[in-house]
Structure 1
Amino acid sequence: MSPQPTARFTLDPAFAVSEVDPRLFGSFVEHLGRCVYTGIYEPGHPSADADGLRTDVLELVRELGVTAIRYPGGNFVSGYKWEDGVGPQERRPRRLDPAWRSTETNQFGLAEFAGFVRKAGGEPMMALNLGTRGVAEALELLEYANHPGGTELSDRRIAHGVQDPYNIRLWCLGNEMDGPWQTGHKTAAEYGRLAAETARAMRQIDPDLELVACGSSGQSMETFAAWEATVLQECYDLVDHISLHAYYEELDGDRDSFLASAVDTESFIENVAATCDHVGARLKSKKRINLSFDEWNVWYMRSGRSPVTPPEDWAEAPRLLEDHYTVTDAVVLGSLLIALLRHADRVKVACLAQLVNVIAPILTEPGGPAWRQTTFHPFAQASRHGRGTVLDVRPDSPRHTTRQYGEVDLLHATAVRDETSGAVTVFAVNRSRNAPLPLEVTLHGLGLTGVAEHSVLADSDPDARNTFQEPERVTPHPATGTALDGGTLRATLEPMSWNMIRLT
């Protein structure tokens, strides 16, 4: 086999994309399966604190580095009554959750979530039920959560033992309202009007809230782009972001296409941004709508690898969507992170869905341990070292052909500069399944002098995973031979690998 041609790109601080909004490293907690119960919340667990939160999970969440945490859904929110999850736990009602055919005990609600976010070091991103509810209920939740006191609802919060307001700044105006599966599904015109009226009313109470309108549930939706255009025609000057959701999985053994999933992610981002700008131009608005990619991940929803419906109807916290991720999945997730960073000028919020147990980087066992999935590692590294300014990366890369996306680059890469220290971190994926990829990066005007670290996530077994029995089977390992000499970084990327190269 002849050696693989070298992939190249140039970094120069004069050519930058944008500063990274820390909320790009967000996550998502939904009342779905075991994300909440026996995930983040399990009174009686050996590690549980006084509030019933698993401290072993909290430690991993802090290590993961998540920022904004979206709650309480997801499909769940479109049938949810927020009032059920406040006040004394012994008086909270049990409800049927039609979204996931489960029984919701409401033992975990707004106060418990706010406590979890505070201890995790993140910020809340609250989703409103615009499926079965509307403007009035949104205003009531806003008053309960954010008003200091002196009104019925804010005084009710105080009577529930929470003196200070939660001060939630970031709100989602519903969830996936374009989807026929959604409780209270609406047409674009119906939803656009509802989103506009809800946003207008919320801003009468607090004009400085950040509001996210529902975009398409995926680029493959028949209504894609037309949905965004219609919705934004109604609410463009009333909202700050529009949402994107995307999930990827390997189908029919087509691993090359799966490894190139970020081609779709980048296309999705660029198409939604173009649609937003088109509507803004039509409205002659000087405002720019940013993007909230508030659900994204690898999810084997069609392959049957994990159950989507509970084996027993109306069970409490059934095991649902518990994908056990492989090395291949982790490399794809790393590539999706690269796609988000490459578009940091428009993507200001992004939420890995979800945080624990449900298609998550963290798994737990009831009464037992918590451990890191393979996908934990790229996210944690990107969140820790991907803060700063994204530099413009335009690779000259060898290519190969995929069934789904045609010809794609084997190299997928971005770079982030820490403006305080001047350090630069390169994140790179080699999409080739069997060949190492030589890499050369020319550095201009960055004052870099050495390689602090080249960390790799790859394995001779692309289907290796971390399990209850072997929680550390897959972890990043150091690369050898990476060097910075004469203004050029040279490295070799292992086959099918996620790479983090830190330059000082």
Structure 2
Amino acid sequence: MPRVRIELDRQAVIAPVRRRTFGSFVEHLGRCVYTGLYEPEHPSANGEGFRMDVVELVRELGSTTIRYPGGNFVSGFRWEDSVGPREKRPVRRDLAWHSIETNQFGLDEFARWLKLTGSEMMLAVNIATRGILPALDLLEYANHPSGTTLSDLRVANGTPEPHNVRMWCLGNEMDGPWQTGFMTADDYGKIAARTAAAMKTADKDLELVVCGSSGSSMPTFGDWERTVLEHAYEHIDYISCHAYYQEHDGDLGSFLASSVDMDYFIDTVVATADHVGHKKRSNKKINISFDEWNIWYLEEHKASQEVNDEWRHAPRQLEDKYSVADAVVVGSLLMTLLKRGDRVTSASLAQLVNVIAPIMTEPGGPAWRQTTFYPFSITSRLASGEVIRPVIETPARETARYGDVPVVDAVATVDEDHAAVFLVNRDLTESAQVTIDVRDLGLSRVTEAVTLADPDVYAKNTLAEQNRVTPSANKSATLADGVLTVELPPVSWTAIALARPGA
């Protein structure tokens, strides 16, 4: 059994816990919106047509900021289509996913849905096939109180109070040849800079996200970020990162180490952004919005031909069913995002419902939690205060993709009266015996200890077996004389909450 020692020092602060780390993503893709968020005929639907069973699960998930309406979808989107009387809204083809968009669920509906979930809107503008003026029009419609043509139109459409959207994405994955209106880095950097400058003329306190390259494997990666930031640096606040992972060719060991790649991705983008900042003699720091991340079995979806020329409304697309191993990786990726909270100050799990999602629904039927739901919801609930960097002594094991990686990884958060420790055991066959020195935290009792694991690492929750996989209490967790001990099963994710007496 691998033996691991961890030491936690209250002074080893990385950054505050960023609530926007626990963001998500809703795109008009497949069944994310229609029969996901919105299904007027469903037994649980409220008067707006929103599935309240889904609303309850989103609240439990703990999503904070939700990116909308895309994604690839946004590059062909005319925001005006999605507001006003439903019977007058146009039906359009969506080129991104080769489906039909009815626009029965739009901007104002999404804003009202967000109020039910307690989440913040993060809005993307289409600068791929439109440009500066439509972005300014959308900003006026969404955020201006009243007294102008577009703000008064919002009021007339039944939303008297402004949406007050703070975070805005300037397009999506603009280096991807799959993107309608894709551009070179030079062309995108110029239009992004001009759009950002115009939007900040309207509201200097907006938080604007410029597109990074679509992934670290893109041939444009690195040079794209540099070129775009050289144009837009002084006008924007964030640069985006997108990363998806999956198990390849039965290589579970490398898959469990996916967070190593995420860490490299973040390092590279931070170094590039800081290089541009130094060149410009700028005093500002560009942070990262990791606004798409998840497990996505993309290779299998490409082979399936589920995106086709039938032009269906709300087809079943990208409906991955997630395993225990997938959930362990999601938990470890979220741990990495917490550890990088000094520069990753916003993130979005892509997506929220049905499409590569933690929540699944059946039309007219139930909604249920996928395995990946649990590490996200538990971390969102327990993480508070500040993120502290643990000192970890752990064996390493070799992986085909990433070389030697630590068997156990961990991160902790702490506030005045509570702490939480999150751990992953990447070993394929052996449990790990972990000893954690928490004396410096001044906490004396374990209030919760749960582990997500299963003898079958490919076990999944499905419509037929919605609760096949759930976290279970880890009864091995004990705290005595400032030392926490716990046993971590192989291929597992664990969360432990600590508190002062009476807290």
TMscore range, shorter length:
over 0.9
Aligned to 2:445: 450
Aligned to 2:412: 415
Q: CA deviation at 1:418?
A: 2.4
User: Would you say the 8 A contact 2:14–2:341 is kept in 1?
Assistant: yes
Is 1:424 aligned to 2:419, yes or no? yes
CA RMSD of aligned residues (A): 1.1
User: Would you say the 8 A contact 2:132–2:198 is kept in 1?
Assistant: yes
Q: 1:132 aligns with which of 105, 129, 141?
A: 129
Aligned to 1:154: 151
Fraction of identical pairs, as percent: 56
1:83-482 alignment, distance < 5 Å:
83-304=80-301, 307=304, 309-310=306-307, 313-419=310-416, 421=417, 423-482=418-477
Q: For residues 177 and 107 of structure 1, do their structure 2 counterparts lie closer, same or farther at Cα, with a shift above 3 Å needed?
A: same
User: Would you say the 8 A contact 1:433–1:495 is kept in 2?
Assistant: yes
Q: CA deviation at 1:151?
A: 1.3
Q: 2:494 aligns with which of 490, 493, 499?
A: 499
> Could you tell me how far apart the structure 2 residues matched to 1:481 and 1:72 are?
44
> What do the CA deviations read for 1:184-232 (whole angstroms, capped 9, x no partner)?
1011111111111001000111000000000111111111111111111
User: Would you say the 8 A contact 1:308–1:320 is kept in 2?
Assistant: no
Q: CA deviation at 1:307?
A: 4.6
> What do the CA deviations read for 1:133-178 (whole angstroms, capped 9, x no partner)?
1101100000111111111111111121211111111100100001
Instruction: Please give the secondary structure, in 2, of the residue aligned with 1:42.
Output: coil
> Could you tell me how far apart the structure 1 residues matched to 2:171 and 2:116 are?
26
> Could you tell me how far apart the structure 2 residues matched to 1:388 and 1:160 are?
40
Q: CA deviation at 1:463?
A: 0.9
Using the size of structure 1 for normalisation, the TM-score is: 0.97
> Could you tell me how far apart the structure 2 residues matched to 1:313 and 1:268 are?
37
Is 1:12 aligned to 2:9, yes or no? yes
Q: CA deviation at 1:482?
A: 1.6
User: Would you say the 8 A contact 2:8–2:391 is kept in 1?
Assistant: no
User: Would you say the 8 A contact 1:305–1:323 is kept in 2?
Assistant: no
Q: CA deviation at 1:126?
A: 0.1
User: Would you say the 8 A contact 2:452–2:470 is kept in 1?
Assistant: yes
- Counterpart residue type for residue 223 of structure 2: A
> Could you tell me how far apart the structure 2 residues matched to 1:411 and 1:445 are?
21
Displaced runs of 4+ in structure 1, greater than 2 A? 303-312
Q: CA deviation at 1:448?
A: 1.1
- Counterpart residue type for residue 463 of structure 1: Y
> What do the CA deviations read for 1:340-374 (whole angstroms, capped 9, x no partner)?
01101111110000000000000000010000000
Q: Out of 248-257 and 483-492, give the one that drifted further.
A: 483-492
> What do the CA deviations read for 1:10-57 (whole angstroms, capped 9, x no partner)?
111111100011011000000000000000000111000010100000
Instruction: Please give the secondary structure, in 2, of the residue aligned with 1:390.
Output: strand
Q: Out of 299-308 and 470-479, give the one that drifted further.
A: 299-308
Instruction: Please give the secondary structure, in 1, of the residue aligned with 2:298.
Output: coil
User: Would you say the 8 A contact 1:216–1:228 is kept in 2?
Assistant: yes
User: Would you say the 8 A contact 1:7–1:439 is kept in 2?
Assistant: yes
User: Would you say the 8 A contact 1:393–1:413 is kept in 2?
Assistant: yes
User: Would you say the 8 A contact 1:310–1:319 is kept in 2?
Assistant: no
> What do the CA deviations read for 1:114-134 (whole angstroms, capped 9, x no partner)?
011111100000001011011
Instruction: Please give the secondary structure, in 1, of the residue aligned with 2:391.
Output: coil
> Could you tell me how far apart the structure 1 residues matched to 2:347 and 2:98 are?
27
Instruction: Please give the secondary structure, in 2, of the residue aligned with 1:335.
Output: helix
Q: CA deviation at 1:62?
A: 0.2
| Alignment coverage as a number of residue pairs | 499
Q: CA deviation at 1:445?
A: 2.3
- Counterpart residue type for residue 454 of structure 1: A
> Could you tell me how far apart the structure 2 residues matched to 1:281 and 1:312 are?
48
> What do the CA deviations read for 1:286-306 (whole angstroms, capped 9, x no partner)?
101111000000000013498
> Could you tell me how far apart the structure 1 residues matched to 2:204 and 2:302 are?
45
Q: For residues 276 and 187 of structure 1, do their structure 2 counterparts lie closer, same or farther at Cα, with a shift above 3 Å needed?
A: same
Is 1:82 aligned to 2:79, yes or no? yes
> Could you tell me how far apart the structure 2 residues matched to 1:305 and 1:149 are?
46
> Could you tell me how far apart the structure 2 residues matched to 1:162 and 1:451 are?
46
> What do the CA deviations read for 1:422-470 (whole angstroms, capped 9, x no partner)?
x110000000111001111112421111212210000011111111111
> Could you tell me how far apart the structure 2 residues matched to 1:436 and 1:356 are?
33
- Counterpart residue type for residue 364 of structure 2: G
Gap regions ≥5 residues in structure 2: none
Aligned to 1:37: 34
Q: CA deviation at 1:273?
A: 0.8
- Counterpart residue type for residue 89 of structure 1: R
Q: CA deviation at 1:310?
A: 3.3
Gap regions ≥5 residues in structure 1: none
- Counterpart residue type for residue 426 of structure 1: V
Q: CA deviation at 1:394?
A: 3.1
Q: CA deviation at 1:308?
A: 6.0
User: Would you say the 8 A contact 1:74–1:175 is kept in 2?
Assistant: yes
